[in-house]
């Protein structure tokens, strides 16, 4: 029989120098997020999404001000009940503390500390109609968050991070996902591990379409519907490494007609994903 979860505690904190608040603020640094395997998400929507998709919320922090508005009060109380029932704690604080945690004025009145979650390579299924996005050394957290959001919106199965990348759990990246982080599996591996993985992907019948400014194929000419697709995008400054380019079954170029040298990475990924998922998107389909 599974052991019953002991409900979490509720505590009111008014000082920014409280040790609990200090350890939450420390999650602004990547090294602390990595050692603790935790991250922060702000706002009622993101916290609701995290709980609905089963992510482990360790602590819910909210402003006492929410109790002034009956509607908000009832929403935050529901969140707090779910968090506590799953063993997480609730901290009731003030706007000054929330601003110091999120490091921005007009901070959201709800913040959560959540356990990080990466999927393993074995979860990247080489199955017909599956599309994965792989990113080589993505640097910009805003780009990464936007790509996760776009991958989610277009029905990609997940995002694979290759090499040294920006942290998907940085506050700026989490913000940019607009909640899609909780619906989109994220895997990570070194370039060497990816090169090994890519051989298995190809021998299982999968395609790897790399995007490259010297790409030989127009991205609109590819049939993305006949094989599982891995869309590989290059680093913002340097593009794809030579080894990664060689691992691709096709190198695609996105046609341009102006003076710009290249497209922004997140925009290029959006264009590629839209084309790769076109066959799967029903006319006028909306996410209700």
Positions touching ligand SAM (CB under 6 A) are 211-213, 215, 233-234, 236-237, 239-240, 253-254, 256, 262-263, 265, 268
d(CA 39, CA 24): 9
CA-to-CA separations, 74 to 71, 81, 87, 92, 239, in angstroms, rounded: 5, 11, 20, 15, 49
Nearer to ligand SAM, 237 or 288 (CB): 237
Nearer to ligand SAM, 158 or 234 (CB): 234
The least CB distance from residue 229 to ligand SAM, in Å, is 15
The least CB distance from residue 164 to ligand SAM, in Å, is 16
CA-to-CA separations, 260 to 85, 217, 257, in angstroms, rounded: 53, 19, 8
Determine contact, residues 126/205, Cβ cutoff 8 Å. yes
The least CB distance from residue 215 to ligand SAM, in Å, is 5
CA-to-CA separations, 137 to 152, 164, 252, 264, in angstroms, rounded: 20, 5, 19, 15
Nearer to ligand SAM, 131 or 211 (CB): 211
The least CB distance from residue 202 to ligand SAM, in Å, is 19
Determine contact, residues 135/205, Cβ cutoff 8 Å. no
SS3 57: strand
Q: Which of 93, 88, 109, 131 is nearest to 45 (CA)?
A: 109
Nearer to ligand SAM, 119 or 267 (CB): 267
The least CB distance from residue 176 to ligand SAM, in Å, is 17
d(CA 58, CA 117): 13
Nearer to ligand SAM, 180 or 211 (CB): 211
């Amino acid at each position: 029989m599974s052991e019953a979860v002991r409900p979490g505690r509720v505590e009111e904190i008014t000082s920014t120098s409280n040790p609990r608040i200090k350890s939450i603020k420390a999650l602004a640094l990547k090294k602390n997020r990595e050692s603790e395997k935790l991250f922060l998400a702000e706002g009622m929507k993101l916290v609701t999404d995290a709980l609905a998709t089963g992510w482990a919320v360790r602590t819910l922090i909210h402003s006492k001000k929410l109790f002034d508005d009956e509607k908000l009060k009832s929403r935050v109380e529901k969140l707090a009940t779910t968090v506590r029932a799953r063993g997480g704690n609730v901290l009731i604080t003030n706007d000054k503390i929330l601003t110091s945690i999120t490091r921005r004025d007009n901070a959201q009145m709800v913040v959560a500390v959540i356990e990080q979650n990466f999927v393993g390579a074995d979860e990247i299924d080489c199955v017909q109609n599956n599309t994965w996005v792989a990113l080589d050394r993505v640097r910009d957290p805003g780009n990464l968050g936007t790509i996760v959001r776009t991958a989610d919106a277009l029905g990609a199965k997940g995002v694979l991070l290759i090499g040294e990348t920006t942290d998907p759990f940085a506050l700026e990246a989490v913000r940019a996902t607009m909640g899609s982080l909780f619906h989109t599996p994220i895997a990570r591996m070194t370039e060497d591990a990816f090169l090994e993985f890519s051989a298995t992907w190809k021998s299982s019948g999968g395609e790897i379409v790399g995007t490259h400014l010297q790409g030989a194929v127009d991205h609109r000419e590819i049939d993305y519907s006949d094989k599982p697709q891995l869309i590989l995008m290059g680093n913002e400054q340097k593009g794809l490494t030579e080894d990664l380019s060689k691992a691709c079954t096709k190198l695609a170029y996105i046609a341009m007609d102006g003076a710009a040298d290249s497209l922004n990475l997140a925009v290029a990924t959006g264009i590629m994903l839209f084309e790769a998922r076109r066959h799967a998107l029903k006319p006028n389909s909306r996410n209700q």
